[in-house]
Amino acid sequence: MTAPAPDAATTTVSSGTVGPVVILAGGLSHERDVSVRSGRRVADALREAGVEVQVHDVDADLLRFLRETEPALVWPVLHGASGEDGSLQDVLALVGVPTVGTGPRRSRQAWSKPVAKAELLQGGISTPDYVTLPQALFRDLGAQTILDMIVERLGLPLVVKPVQGGSALGVTRVDEASQFPRAMVDCFSYGDTALIERAVDGIEVAVSVIDGPDGLEALPAVEIVTSGSYDYDARYNPGPVEYFTPARLDAEASARVADVALRAHEILGLKHLSRTDIILDAEGTPHVLEVNVSPGLTETSLLPQAAAAAGYELPTLYRRIVEHALAPTH
Amino acid sequence: MTEQNRLTEQTSGTRLDPWFGAYAERTRGMRASEIRALFSVANRPEVVSLAGGMPFIEGLPLDVIGEAMDRLIRTRGTRALQYGSGQGEESLRERITEVVAMEGVEAHPDDITVTTGSQQALDLVTRIFIDPGDVIVAEAPSYVGALGVFRSYQADVVHVELDADGLVPAALEATLSRLAAEGRRAKMLYTIPNFHNPAGVTMSVERRPQILEICRRHGVLVVEDNPYGLLGFEDDPYPALRSYDADGVIYLGSFSKTFAPGYRVGFVIAPHAVREKLVLASESAILSPSNASQLAVETYLDTCDWRAQIKDYREMYRERRDALVGALAEHIPAASWNVPVGGFFVWVKLPEGLDAKSMLPRAVTERVAYVPGTAFYFDGQGSDHMRLSFCFPTPDRIREGVRRLATVVNAESELVQLFGTTAQPDDDPTDVEIPSPDLA
């Protein structure tokens, strides 16, 4: 696949007559480290593509910096709270600077896993059966009774995860009921509401979607094969996980997961880029686990792998995203 | 799994690391962990970090040191910027004998090998004595940086009980006897006698000869790691173990805490034959320690009132220790802790059921950081403890940090009561679960 040649919008980005592209990376979320690494990779790629780039943390100096720099565009490469939950996007909208990525309202909805799951279900996309419960409810009604009811209704194995956040932080697979209380404690250390869903076994794939000048495009699915869980360590330490890109799926299954990712992107109203994590079960039904508003862009992340499999050079791809975000119709 | 959807011709994917199968076994624990990632927030000013062990360099007279360093390069630059000897600059080694004399160590400059921080000394000592599977005995808990070195040389670490007076002689005797009965000889005792990292305790003067006698009888070499020895708050420095037994003790020292870690100057004092091997091992690793750093430290010792600086440090760190233990008593009375008489660290036992590792994300949310106790054990124990350091934040920030920590502890206590969980051993103690050295 050949990326489009730079157009007039690109010239604007790199001409020096307007401000640079500002990459926001870091922040104070649990995923700061991932964000810093993602931001550095995006900045390097854009510089290679001839775009003037500055990288800035999300801190007390940010607004002064934005006022003085007058950037043409801000790309929040942020993971976790404030970066993905729409609040920073709200502030950037107040500043009046165009941004890469989904706007505040839709970010807020997609950031909440149960809200996103409800929207997907309403749109006809399967997602594992689940319950969402705040810590206070366990206190009010009795923890063990609720845990027993959940096991009775959803069965085992289960996956416990915070309703917000990424990188599998606070996520535990529960194979036996005795593991359930510990999983809840670990989850509530990351946030005060837990999403507990039925674990679905099958082929695990991630499909990245980019929103370019030619419309939405699903990149080749990345298949994730790991002997344990695809947890934080597995995600960010090269080696233990084996990735197949494109996934070892026949044409029909590949089309099915691509279609699900595109529809999820549209249903949730996402912009420019997203990544949908999917399990293809024994019957070949795709179940969406999560949709990521701000997918990881580190050296081990899935979107860059998918882009490479599609024949994109990252500098070209990221420049295209920048151009699209700057396009007057946007 | 659905085979009708499966294309099977591709049998191997990518692991994003073409050398994945080629790494040595000793690299097994060298990987990013969720806990280490959480520490990346700790260097932000919004966070009160009680995690790292960075000395308070702002306490140094930087203008005076700056002028001395300027003069050094102008007057001795050709020496400072050249290769040096593998053993280290003789003039610095002479000055080191004066420093260690404060702890009763009678050393000759020939006994001393200068190293790149005492961490390199630890690496060299382990390199020349330890084969894979050899047993090293260490306090429970022990310095995480030492455990990392021991792990990288594939040693087996056996922990021995520690109490308020340091390593327990009876427990050491029992452990060495048990190991001997099992046909496993311990080669080395690794101990931090003064202001222990992380436990904060100090080995009593009465116990010191007892520990040495036990080790001598069992043929165990003692490695005495003493970076904080001059930073006691109350008394004169404690007599070093090496002051009792020059043949059976290897002494590791450092200027990182008493002066500045940026120069990375440490040293090892060892019996003659051991010293010969240490120099050869160091030359094979780094050729020579940095001449510029060595001459900088020497210049500091020659031209600045370093004894007064240490006194200033002691007073400053004591004030911070008081702030920390005072705040703990006020805000987290359900925990228990020691009151260290020097050094940088307080070792806190959490209220029943709390797991320091599991609690860390909540702490980061509340903008406070600590190191979970599991980092200081070779075998995954320590989840009910955390290490709090008082060396870097100001007293007001320390008090604020403990206030935030109390919020975390209270919320976590409610949670563990709700679900009836208890602190769990670390399921993979090889993970790196300590902030990198530049994160306070």
pLDDT at B197: 96
Q: Which residues of A139-153 are buried (b: 16+ CB within 10 A; e: fewer)?
A: eeeebeebbeebbee
Tell me: the pLDDT tens digits for B203-222?
999 999 999 999 999 999 99
Nearest C-alpha in B relative to A285: B2
Closest approach of B150 to chain A, Cα-based (Å): 22
Confidence label for A7 from pLDDT (cuts 50, 70 and 90): very low
Task: Establish whether A140 is an annotated binding residue.
Answer: no
Angstroms from B163 CA to nearest CA on chain A = 31
Q: Do A31 and A151 share a structural domain? A: no
Same domain, A228 and A296: yes
**Alpha helices for chain A (secondary structure H):** 8-14, 32-48, 62-69, 87-95, 104-111, 113-122, 135-141, 143-154, 180-188, 232-236, 251-267, 302-309, 314-326
User: Which positions in chain A touch B358 (Cβ < 8 Å)?
Assistant: 185-186, 189
What mean pLDDT is predicted for residues B54-69?
A: 90
A121 & A142 share domain: no
Is A241 among the domain residues?
yes
Whether A221 is covered by a domain: the verdict is: yes
**Range with the poorest average pLDDT among A298-302, B367-371, B399-403:** A298-302
A277 known member of a binding site: yes
Residue B121 has pLDDT above 50, yes or no: yes
Q: Do A28 and B44 touch (CB under 8 A)?
A: yes
Domain identity same for A146 and A209: no
Q: Do both A217 and A261 map to the same domain?
A: yes
Q: Nearest-CA residue of chain A relative to B422?
A: A182
Minimal CA separation from B331 to chain A, in Å = 20
Whether residues A303 and A217 fall in one domain: yes
Q: What is the pLDDT of residue A85?
A: 81
Please give the residue range of the domain that contains residue A250. 109-126+200-309
In the predicted structure, residue B354 carries a pLDDT above the cut 80 = yes
- If asked whether residues A95 and A140 sit together in one domain, one would say no
Interface of B with A in 4-63 (CB under 8 A): 4-8, 10, 12-17, 20, 31-34, 36-38, 40-41, 44-47
Q: Indicate the pLDDT class of residue B36, thresholds 50, 70 and 90.
A: confident
Instruction: Find the range with the poorest average confidence among B33-47, B71-85, B100-114, B188-202.
Output: B33-47
Closest-CA residue of B relative to A248 is B7
What is the CATH classification number for the domain harbouring A174?
A: 3.30.1490.20
Please give the single-letter amino acid code of residue A245.
T
Closest chain B residue to A246 measured between Cα atoms? Answer: B13
Q: What is the pLDDT of residue B8?
A: 58
Concerning whether A252 is annotated as a catalytic residue, the answer is no
Q: One of A31, A119, A204, A323 is an active-site residue; which one?
A: A31
Residue A329 lies in a domain: no
Per-residue pLDDT tens digits for A145-201: 999 999 999 999 999 999 988 788 899 999 999 999 999 999 999 999 999 999 999
Between residues B8 and B18, the one the model is more confident about: B18
Report which DSSP code applies to A90: H
Domain assignment present for A49: yes
CB contact under 8 A, A244 and B10: yes
Q: Are residues A181 and A234 in the same domain?
A: no
CATH of the domain at A55: 3.40.50.20
Task: Please indicate, yes or no, if residue A12 is contained in any of the structural domains.
Answer: no
Tell whether A183 and A294 lie within a shared domain: no
A305 chain-B contacts, CB cut-off 8 A: 14, 16
pLDDT category of residue B296 using cuts at 50, 70 and 90: very high
A113 and A83 co-located in one domain: no
pLDDT value for B112: 98
Q: How confident is the model at residue A257 (pLDDT cuts 50, 70, 90)?
A: very high
pLDDT(A9) > 50: no
- Same domain flag for A157 and A278: no
pLDDT value of residue B432: 67
Indicate whether A16 pLDDT > 50.
Answer: no
Across the interface, which of B1, B31, B358 has its CB nearest the CB of A189? B358
Active-site entry in A38, A107, A112, A167: A167
Instruction: Please write the tens of the pLDDT for every residue from B146-155.
Output: 999 999 999 9
Identify which of A250, A278, A325 has the alpha carbon closest to the alpha carbon of residue A98: A325
- CB neighbours (10 Å) of residue A319? 25
A268: CATH: 3.30.470.20
Residue B208's SS3 state is: helix
Give how many domains chain A has, as a whole number.
Answer: 3
- Domain-located, residue A193: yes
Task: Tell me, yes or no, if A31 is annotated catalytic.
Answer: yes
Asked whether residue A324 is assigned to any structural domain, the reply reads no
The answer to whether B227 touches B88, Cβ cutoff 8 Å, is no
Q: Residues A113, A219: one domain?
A: yes
Kindly state the average pLDDT of the residues A227-238: 80
Residue A160 lies in a domain: yes
Determine whether the interchain pair B2/A281 forms a contact, defined as Cβ–Cβ distance below 8 Å.
yes
